[in-house]
């Protein structure tokens, strides 16, 4: 049975990598806010929002207008558009409130990137990320499975973390034909029916 499993590790980027992470976070926020404004304007005028595909096509034109968007990971920009489209879908299903503009003053800043053409890998105590190259990390345990995506976060204290989602195969436990009763009590924490 295939399941998704997440791992979180501390990152130790170089100064250049820190600058590129900050640029990527800023560009992702810019794309999110710009299309959120367009989405809100379109909704007020027509009563319908935009679609992810329409925004994605416009993003390529936006990269010609703002050349600095090409410096960062393009998948991160697409992910921020996907997050915007998903949050509007949930809003229209009345599952959450309307999306709000992202602020530079938010204490936790992050961006998400996905795996394409094996652009992500963990080698020893380093992780290979798009545009960043190999970044040193504190690997506390082995990552088992196929990497799907990674989210890079910067805390208010300036520390960097990466959350990696992997797809892994787990074997279900064998069923036994036995059962047991558990009595949770005050004097004894738990008493089992088999003694």
Q: What is the mean pLDDT of the chain?
A: 90
Does 195 have pLDDT greater than 90?
no
d(CA 96, CA 111): 21
Contact 80, 111 (CB under 8 A): yes
Q: Give the predicted TM-score (pTM) of the model.
A: 0.82
Alpha-carbon torsion (162, 166, 172, 173), positive or negative: negative
Which residues have CB under 8 Å from 136's CB, separation 6+?
Answer: 11, 12, 13, 125, 126
pLDDT-based confidence at residue 137 (cuts at 50, 70, 90): very high
Mean pLDDT confidence for 10-38:
93
Highest-confidence segment of 34-48, 85-99, 155-169: 155-169
State the virtual CA torsion across 134, 69, 165, 84 in degrees, nearest 10.
170
136 C-beta neighbours (distance < 10 Å), count: 15
Contact 11, 160 (CB under 8 A): yes
């Amino acid at each position: 049975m295939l399941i998704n499993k997440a791992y979180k590790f501390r990152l130790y980027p170089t100064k250049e990598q820190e600058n590129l992470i900050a640029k990527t976070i800023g560009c992702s926020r810019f794309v999110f806010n710009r299309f959120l404004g367009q989405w809100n304007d379109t909704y007020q005028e027509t009563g319908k929002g935009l679609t992810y595909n329409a925004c994605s096509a416009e993003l390529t034109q936006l990269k010609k207008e703002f050349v600095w968007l090409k410096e960062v990971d393009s998948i991160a920009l697409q992910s921020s558009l996907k997050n915007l489209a998903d949050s509007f879908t949930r809003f229209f299903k009345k599952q959450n409130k309307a999306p709000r503009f992202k602020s530079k003053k938010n204490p936790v800043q992050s961006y998400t990137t996905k795996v394409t053409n094996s652009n992500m890998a963990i080698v020893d105590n380093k992780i290979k990320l798009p545009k960043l190259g190999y970044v040193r990390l504190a690997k506390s345990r082995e990552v088992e499975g196929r990497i799907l995506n990674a989210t890079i976060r910067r805390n208010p204290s300036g520390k960097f973390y990466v959350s990696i989602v992997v797809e892994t195969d787990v074997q279900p436990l064998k069923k036994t034909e036995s059962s047991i009763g558990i009595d949770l009590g005050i004097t004894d924490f738990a008493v089992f029916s088999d003694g």
